[in-house]
Chains A and B, each alone.
Chain A
Amino acid sequence: MSLQPILASLRHHKLTALLLTLQVAFTCAIVCNVAFMIAGRVSQLTVPSGLAEDELSMVRVVGTTPGENGAQRQRVDLDALRALPGVTSVVAVDALPLSRDNSTYGTCASREAYEQAVAARSMEGNPGCVQPSVYSGSPGVLPTLGLKLASGRDFLADEYVQAEPGWIVAEVPAAIITRELAERLYHGEDPLGRELFMGGRPPMRVVGVVDTLLRPALRSPSTNQYAMLLPSIPGDTEATYVLRSAPTARETVLKRAVDTLNRLDPSRLIPPSGIRTYAQLRASYFQRDTTMIGLLLAAAAGLLFVTALGITGLANFWVQQRTRSIGIRRAIGATRRDILRYFQAENFLIVGAGIVLGMVLAFVLNALLMQRYELPRLPVRYLPVGALVLWLLGQLAVLGPARRASRVPPVVATRGV
């Protein structure tokens, strides 16, 4: 089939065809970028924390009795919680991955590097120093959270130190760090047994390495795993108790834990927002991203819908307008199939032109977004997928009008309009 007559007829409808091309181009550019943003957000949602997420629930308590002995209170609480039916283990921690309460400390692989960093008043640009997030927890924190050791060992019972009230991490002899933090600090050498200098304290020794332990608040993918766990028992009257239980028992365990804690100290505060399963914590951390994914999906669907409507509407017009010429073509021997093909090919050309223009626009739009919102570059693989989707959409949208055109009887040619 020759494209010659199609091009000739499009020349008569230059402006309309151009507008449709533009619409397809805008849609292609926006939908490609939107799809890319959706993929980016989805990959964030599913970032692993390193914890046994399905089995954890938390209760945050704030003691209000003046001059209370937080450490003593905590021991009583932990014993009572451990005795609850359904609870496998329980620990007190100061923060958790994605809990947002981020404490970071300047940490160096050697004393020299630490002194350099102090002199320069910055950890940045120093190959032996970094600013990791620090987690502290009561005895049993590693197995309770479900962290997987890649090498080394868990903390020994005598390595745990009670911290002073006021959120300050105790001076501890040992640390467990993530694989990525080990790589950043020791550059490929075996981290086990190495010294770690944190904020002017006596050096700690690296006793274990875990594969994954996410920070409490995410920044960039390359630094999200810079975290370490210390055997420092939280010493404040404010603490988060992490309960491990079977996934199905989480709700009942939480309820029982709150009742028990209220009974032990009726004057303390247990904010409702602090009573939650880890799944709820994750959902609340990523709530904005989930909303955004929904909006982006709706926008992409809306755009494709409006474009499909536009194609159908315009094709309908053209079929009505050309009824007579279709009749003439049929009368001189064109088959129904030829007419159908004619409209399909015409649509393919217009959408194709739109896609070519749209790809250029997609990269322009991406460049703008990269500037304003620090988005990464649009990978090329999105373009053929976007093109295919729009071509399919175009063909689907034109199918109805094209079939109506193919049913125009040849006898129309002999009548007036």
Chain B
Amino acid sequence: MLAYYLDLALRSLRRNKVLTALMVLAIGLGIGASMTMITVLHVMTDDPMPGRSGRLFAPHLDPLPLDYRKSADAPDPAVNFTWPDAKALLDAHKATRQAAMAGGSLLLRPEQGGLRPFTVDGRYATADFFAMFGVPFERGQGWSVADEAARARVVVLSDTLSRKLFGSADSLGRSVRLDEHDFRVIGVVADWAPQPMFYADASGKRYGRSDEFFLPLETAIDLRLDGNGNFSSWGKDSAEGRQTSATTSWLQFWVQLDSAGQIDAYRDFLRDYAARQKALGRFQQPPETADVFGLMDWLARQDLVPGDVNLQLWLALGFLLVCMTNIVALLLAKFLRRSGEISVRRALGARRRDIFLQLGVESAVIGVAGGVLGLLIAQLGLWSVRRRPDDYAQLAQMDPAMLLGTVALAIVASVLAGLLPAWRACRVTPALQLKTL
């Protein structure tokens, strides 16, 4: 029966080619615009660590004085950690794994001839960083807690940076001059870039970049290497002492917690810590402000999606709404014009349900064609998004799930659009229509 309806639908659509093309174009434009923006939003809010994100948590402490005024223009200092708090949490070992980290840009002075000095972006981190985030090593390994305590001058390079400096030769054991200090290469990691870069400072760029080097946080503090994230001070800190100050936040802190019980225990531990700090007079906020957030929850709280992108999504959905209204009106007019034909089928014994199905198939055919056109338009839209210089632009690609989603959305939209006209058309009174034939 469906094959027959399909044949009927194709005949009907062929009878009025201009109108069919018009409906396919309308649904294609609406779907294309919407899917472009939905894809952009999807890649921006995607899980950066599939399989691992459920066990990664961001602890939160609020060391700010009660009378501290947060500004709408400046980032919230309580998002980051001070070194004394980070050190206390590291030493407590209450989580399966824990690491403090901060971003840094350093001048690299290659010893190899022909290369001019250039700046590299990377991360200062504590020892658990690699194991906790599952950073894939190609050669060598990360540093140990003992290296860290000894302020060892060691560095882990990304594969790209290693190749740039040493070509295809093994870089393990070689020396790299960063910010006028020599570091020994102890590991090379495959290029590893979770998107969004959830563990980076919230005020910086979160998309389209990766770390080119990693070195021990305590070594960086010891050498006073500059951080490139946000340093927020609420005390009287000098520029020299700010990295270790108890009133300057600049570090990010992540922990791995494996069970619900462990999460609760860690939250209690944090509140306990905050209460003790408050008793000591260092914290002023109530200890209940201390908390622990899951990775996706943490990202959701950070407004990663710019207002413009949100606005573009709403615009695209509004456009789809107008296109849908358009198609409902056109289908209604088209179906009602065939009242005579429908009445003949009804008089010959077709049930309302059959008429409804027949017209539904016709809507779906338009939906499939519109979906295919929408897919092409969405690819064009994403191509134009990729040409923008924004940091998220390069990520704007459709994965297979989104491709299927596009076609599904188009079919659902057109079948929905066909519901009202089909329902109206199958309620046509056959006797009245047959008389006028």
Contact = CB atoms under 8 A, between A and B. Distances in A.
Whether A associates with B in a native complex is yes
Contact of B322 (A64, A124, A303): A303
B8 interface: no
A39 interface: no
Nearest to A289: B308
Contact of A122 (B25, B69, B388): B69
Nearest to A288: B308
Interface string B31-48: 001000000000000000
A313 B330 contact: yes
B312 A309 contact: no
Contacts of A121: 67-69
Interface in B319-346: 319, 321-323, 325-326, 328-330, 332-334, 336-337
Nearest to B108: A64
B26 interface: yes
Contacts of B281: none
B307 to A, nearest CB: 6
A299 B239 contact: no
A26 B30 CA distance: 14
A20 B329 contact: yes
Contact of B337 (A22, A124, A299, A321): A321
Contacts of A372: 307, 310
Nearest to B329: A19
B26 A309 contact: yes
B22 A309 contact: yes
Interface residues of A, number: 44
A292 interface: yes
A373 B325 contact: no
Contacts of A287: 388-389
B322 A23 contact: yes
A1 interface: no
Nearest to A375: B311
B325 A267 contact: no
A221 interface: no
Nearest to B328: A19
B390 A288 contact: yes
B282 to A, nearest CB: 18
B117 interface: yes
B44 to A, nearest CB: 15
A26 B322 contact: yes
A412 to B, nearest CB: 16
B308 A26 contact: no
Contacts of A66: 180
Interface string A353-395: 0000000000000000100110000000000000000000000
Interface string A309-336: 1100110111011000000000000000
A307 B424 contact: no
Nearest to A269: B117
B116 interface: yes
Contacts of A19: 325, 328-329, 332
Interface in B77-111: 107, 109
Contacts, number: 107
B29 interface: yes
B237 to A, nearest CB: 15
A23 B326 contact: yes
A320 B337 contact: yes
A219 B73 CA distance: 9
Given A16-B333, A23-B329, A267-B117, A307 B322 contact: yes
B4 interface: no
A318 B333 contact: yes
A306 B329 contact: no
B230 to A, nearest CB: 14
A19 B316 CA distance: 20
A30 B33 CA distance: 15
B318 interface: yes
A299 B322 CA distance: 11
Interface string B176-206: 0000100000000000000000000000000
B388 A310 contact: no
A352 to B, nearest CB: 17
A3 interface: no
A382 to B, nearest CB: 17
A314 B333 CA distance: 7
A292 B336 CA distance: 41
5 contacts: A16-B336, A23-B329, A307-B322, A307-B326, A313-B330
Interface of B: 19, 22, 25-26, 29-30, 33, 67-69, 73, 107, 109, 116-119, 180, 239, 307-308, 310-312, 315-316, 318-319, 321-323, 325-326, 328-330, 332-334, 336-337, 388-390, 420, 424
Given A26-B325, A310-B325, 8 more contacts: A16-B333, A27-B322, A124-B69, A219-B73, A269-B118, A288-B308, A372-B307, A373-B307
Q: 5 tightest A-B contacts by CB?
A: A19-B329, A310-B326, A23-B325, A317-B333, A26-B322
Interface of A: 15-16, 19-20, 22-23, 26-27, 30, 34, 64, 66, 121-122, 124, 166, 219, 266-267, 269, 284, 287-288, 291-292, 295-296, 299, 302-303, 306-307, 309-310, 313-314, 316-318, 320-321, 369, 372-373
